[in-house]
Every structure is written in C-alpha cells, then in structure tokens.
Amino acid sequence: MTLFTVSVALDGDRHYDILIGSGLLAQAGERLKALGGNSVAIVTDSNVADHHLDTVVQSCKAAGLNGHSIVVPAGEKSKSFAHLEQLCADLLEARIERGDLIVALGGGVIGDLTGFAAAILRRGVRCVQMPTSLLAQVDSSVGGKTGINTAFGKNLIGAFHQPSLVLADTDSLDTLPSREFRAGYAEVAKYGLINDTAFFAWLEHNHGAVFAGGEERRQAVRTSCAAKAAIVMRDEKESGERALLNLGHTFGHALEASVWYDGGRLVHGEGVAIGICLAFRFSAALGLCAAGDAERVERHFKAVGLPTRIQDIPGEVSSPEQLLVLMAQDKKVTQGQFNFILAHGIGQSFIARDVAVSKVEEFLQQELQEAV
C-alpha cells in the first residue's frame, strides 16, 4: 500500500513530516515512540472516539507507551475558553510533562483546540496531529495554526504551534459522514484553483474515485497537503502568499455567520464552495477572468453535489447589506478596504488589496436578484 510523505521544512528544528496512507492509526504507537517521551495524551471527540480511539490506544499500549484518553464533546462549540480550560486541567491531571506528546485525533475542531492547548500547556508541549476528517487531512492539520472561538468571532484567540508529526490515515475517512467528506472536498478543489490548473483538471476526471476511496483519494490528500505545505514554508505567518489559502473564505465566512454557524444549514466547506464560486463570478464581473472559467468551477462543484449559489442555502437568504457588514467584520479587511482573493483564471488566483466596497455590493445585488 502506498505511503506518501510530505516534508514541511521550517527554520530551526521545526521540521516535520506529514504521512498519508492506509492503516496509519494502527501504527500510531510505534511512530509516537520514535519521537520520544513516555506519556501520550490522546485527545478526541465523542464521534471519533466511537470509531478510532481504541485503535490508537491499543497501538500505544503495544508500543509500551503510557496513554491517556481525553474525550471532548463533538462540534464547533468545543473550541471555547471553557473547553480549553477543562482540557488543560485534564492534561495536567494526566501529568503530561514538557517532554511528552499530545495527540489530536479528530477533525479540525479537535486539531485546533488540542493544538492550542499543547501550545500553552507548560509553555509548549509537542503535538501530533492525527486528522480524521477530509478537511483536517488537507487543511487544518498542516501549517500550525491553532485556536479557539470567542463571541467576537472564530479563531480570534490562538497561537502558531507546528505539529511534530501529522498522521493522515485515509482509511479513517470511511466513517466520516458523506456531507462532511463533500464539504472537505471544497478545500481540495481550492488548491487546484489557487495555483494548480493540472490538479483541478485531474479532479474533474477523478472526483468519483476520490469520493469512492482508494488510491485516488490518497493522491488527492497528498497533492493538497503538498500544496499547503509549500505555501506555509514560504510564508509561515501569513504576511503575504499564505492569504491565497483564503480563496472563497471572505464570502464563505460571511455566509457561515449569516446563518449563525448553524451546521444544519451550512457547514464550513459548503460556505467555501459557494464562496469560491462567488470569487470566480466576481472576478469575471470585474473583467479579470473569463466567464467560462467561472462556469467551469461551478460545473465541477455541482457535479460533486456542493452548493454554488447563496440561494442554495436552505432558509431565508441574507441581504447584500447584511453580508457586507459580516464581511467587514472578517479579519481579512484592513482600513476599510476589502482584501480579496480573486482569480485571473483556474489556477491563477491572486491577492487583491483594494477592492471597492461598492463593487462588492453591486455584485451581491446582482447575484441575489438572479434568485427570483
């Protein structure tokens, strides 16, 4: 069975590998042992615990490691100060020391919460990410951003804390609900749309196999991780190029906020799918990109069953004015001007720093009129 390794080389001793393959959770113990440390705290959520915790615990036991399991409630609400406090208390109670390891076994929620706890516990304990959702395997487990949400917004409290190892077991995705898989796929396609035309074309031909599992799925995860790692290596703290990873996210975050983060109506990846389509149609409306490219993006998302229009969100649709207010609250807005990721075409995204608010409003009005 193929095992892919993507290396993330950062300055100092912060070099780590992302391993992508089948059956990696069952090998977790020996791979953790190789990193040193006697105790391992495995943090997971209540859904993932049902399917995968035992595999990791048994593997740690077999490797002679002292393992502790900590299960937090599933869902975005766990990315809070209250859950962070509880998790830190649990880790201290388990006597996790500086030389030990903290494992984040789960989706992006567990990765962000656990990574942040690892960053601050005893001023920094090593963290190993074991992502089990597609979104976490291709995005959140790579790059070292960790954090929690507050009433002021998502991810506003956090730290950069690079993992010591990432184990992406693609078999673990077999238990992921299909809606979550599809949502994560929007982030996979995003990498093609940012700067890899050939990858997007490959996805157009192979998406069925990627959804079905097997070799193509591993390939897609590998290409996505490599794309993210390459950008992170060039711009770890997002002073420039890393912002490209936000393609579709300025619109997407506003849409998520407009439904009050009600996952029943819209999960993150679905917001990103609509946001990417909006970014391409907006680019076309501004004359920056061929209309045919925007149509091609929409066609692909539709083919995999992702939403592509604001009107695809069930329930009442927000007004352009409401969406603009929500976009202005997003952290990617500086000095009253919208920071947007726009595109000259598929695989040709760029950072636009001076997009006039009036243009965005005009575009959203047009988009929403097409609803009726």
**Shortest gap between Cβ of 362 and ligand NAD (angstroms)?**
30
**Token digits for 367?**
């988009």
Count residues near ligand NAD (CB under 6 A): 28
**Token digits for 82?**
């209250």
Which residues inside 35-74 make contact with ligand NAD, applying CB under 6 A? 45, 47-48, 51, 74
Exposure string of 350-366, with b = 16+ CB inside 10 Å and e = fewer, is bbbeebeeeebeebbee
Helices then strands, counting H and E runs in the chain, come out as: 14, 12
For ligand NAD, the nearest residue by Cβ is 108
Q: Do 110 and 140 form a contact (C-beta atoms < 8 A)?
A: no
Active site residue 300: no
Region for residue 345 given its phi and psi (left: phi exceeds 0; alpha: psi -120 to 50; beta: otherwise): left
Which residue lies nearer to ligand NAD by CB, 256 or 293? 256
Stretch that binds ligand NAD, among 80-88, 140-148, 277-285, 308-316 (CB under 6 A): 140-148
Active site residue 187: yes
Residue 249 makes contact with ligand NAD by CB under 6 A: no
CA-CA distance, 369 to 353, in Å (whole number)?
Answer: 27
The correct pick among 175, 329, 337, 365 for binding ligand NAD (CB under 6 A) is 175
Q: Do 220 and 2 form a contact (C-beta atoms < 8 A)?
A: no
CA distances from 180 to 87, 263, 266, 290, 334 (A): 25, 10, 11, 31, 32
**Shortest gap between Cβ of 349 and ligand NAD (angstroms)?**
17
Residue 150 makes contact with ligand NAD by CB under 6 A: no
Active site residue 207: no
Active site residue 238: yes
Nearest partner of 193 among 266, 286, 289, 268, judged by Cα: 289
Which residue lies nearer to ligand NAD by CB, 139 or 298? 139
The correct pick among 143, 163, 252, 271 for binding ligand NAD (CB under 6 A) is 143
**Shortest gap between Cβ of 115 and ligand NAD (angstroms)?**
7
Which residue lies nearer to ligand NAD by CB, 67 or 143? 143
Active site residue 52: no
Which residue lies nearer to ligand NAD by CB, 137 or 318? 137
Q: Which helix (H) or strand (E) holds 85?
A: helix 81-93
Residues 24, 28, 34, 40: is their CA dihedral positive or negative?
A: positive
Catalytic positions: 123, 145, 187, 228, 238, 242, 246, 249, 253, 268
The residues binding ligand NAD (CB under 6 A) are: 45, 47-48, 51, 74, 76, 79, 106-110, 112, 132-133, 135-136, 139-140, 143, 145, 154-155, 172, 175-176, 180, 268
